[in-house]
Amino acid sequence: MQTLREKITFTFSTLLYLFFNLGQGTTPMEIFKGTVWQLLSMFPYTAGVTWVIVAFLKHMAGGEMLPWDRIMRIFFVVGILFALLLAIYQYAEMGAAV
């Protein structure tokens, strides 16, 4: 990350990742607990899929490792996708109880 644009987009990616993993609740403490629970429960899956993608990209690049900020961006994208799928699942689960 050398340019200001890269720093801004990295920060935006981080905030978007946290926004998608925001927990449900009525009080700030419940929202915080839900967010931490979701981040911790999704981390192994997100890290595993990111590791597979990075290993594939490293292989395709001839063994050259990706920069850390690119790896984190991949992690954020995978985390956002998993959070979206979890939110859809939770939303459908709420509708099934009615």
pLDDT for 81: 96
pLDDT average, residue stretch 27-42: 93
Q: What's the mean pLDDT when you consider all of the chain? A: 92
- The predicted model scores a pTM of 0.87
Q: Tell whether the model's pLDDT for residue 18 goes beyond 90.
A: yes
Q: Which two tokens stand for residue 25?
A: 């609740």
Where do we find the tokens 């292989």? 59
Number of other residues whose CB lies within 10 A of the CB of residue 83? 21
84 half-sphere exposure, CB direction, 13 A CA radius:
8
Q: Tell whether the model's pLDDT for residue 59 goes beyond 60.
A: yes
3-state DSSP assignment of residue 49: helix
Q: Tell whether the model's pLDDT for residue 96 goes beyond 70.
A: no
Domain limits, the chain: 4-93
Q: How far is CA 93 from the centre of its chain?
A: 22
- Whose CA is closest to 45, among 79, 17, 77, 15? 79
